[in-house]
């Protein structure tokens, strides 16, 4: 066997593993921050879409009933009925909120059966573990914005 055909030395292997470990260690916080921001954006858009869907169901007279959106820790539920407590559970559409996103709103937003308008204006705040925030607003005319 010739000397120039032996393979890798221990030092070369240690340096290669060290460089890969260093790159992975430096990129992990960037990835986690990106993931947290992505979860916040996705949650904001999903909640806005859920509110719009409740309004659409009321305006289409779906089920000849009121529709609403209930906010609880860890999730949001689109429901049919005048209140979350008296809802028809067969029509529930739950949406799970990622664990690194907090919702700063509690209760229900109910859309009127006759007008399709929300009972009141609301601002739903969201926060992520990386410090980013966003807000979904709904005015008394039913316009949803984020």
DSSP for 21-88, written as a single string: HHHHHHHHHHHHHHHHHHHHHHHHHHHHHHHHHHHHHHHTTGGGS-EEEEEETTEEEEEESSSSTT-E
Across the strands, what pairs with 111?
A: 67, 118
Residue 142 near residue 117 (C-beta atoms within 8 A):
yes
For the segment 47-61, what is each residue's pLDDT rounded down to a tens digit?
Answer: 999 999 999 999 998
| CA–CA dist 143, 134 (Å, integer) | 17
Q: Which domains does the chain have, with CATH numbers?
A: 10-145 (3.55.40.10)
pLDDT (tens place) for every residue of the chain, 146 residues total: 566 667 788 899 999 999 999 999 998 888 888 888 899 999 999 999 999 999 999 999 888 899 999 999 889 999 999 999 999 999 999 999 999 999 999 999 999 988 889 989 999 999 998 889 999 999 999 899 99
pLDDT value of residue 4: 62
pLDDT of residue 14: 94
In this prediction, residue 3 carries a pLDDT of 60
Confidence (pLDDT) at 95: 94
In the prediction, which pLDDT does 5 show? Answer: 67
Under a CB-based contact definition with an 8 Å cutoff, are residues 113 and 126 in contact? no
DSSP 89: E
Q: Determine the pLDDT at residue 85.
A: 93
Rounded Cα distance, 33 and 39, in Å: 10
- Cα(86)–Cα(70) distance, integer angstroms: 12
Please give the pLDDT value at position 115: 86
* Closest by Cα among 106, 46, 99, 49 to 72: 106
Sheet holding 101-104, edge to edge: 101-104, 122-128, 133-138, 144-145
So what's the pLDDT on residue 32?
83
């Amino acid at each position: 066997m010739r000397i120039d055909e032996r393979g890798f030395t221990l030092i070369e292997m240690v340096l290669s593993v060290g460089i890969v470990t260093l790159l992975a260690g430096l990129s992990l916080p960037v990835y986690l921050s990106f993931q947290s921001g992505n979860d916040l954006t996705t949650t904001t858009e999903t909640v806005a879409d859920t509110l719009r869907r409740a309004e659409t169901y009321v305006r289409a007279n779906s089920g000849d009933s009121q529709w609403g959106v209930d906010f609880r820790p860890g999730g949001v539920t689109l429901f049919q009925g005048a209140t979350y407590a008296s809802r028809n559970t067969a029509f529930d559409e739950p949406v799970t909120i990622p664990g690194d996103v907090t919702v700063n709103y509690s209760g229900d937003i109910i859309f009127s059966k006759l007008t399709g308008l929300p009972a009141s204006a609301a601002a739903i705040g969201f926060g992520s573990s990386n410090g980013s925030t966003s807000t979904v607003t709904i005015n008394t005319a039913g316009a949803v914005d984020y």
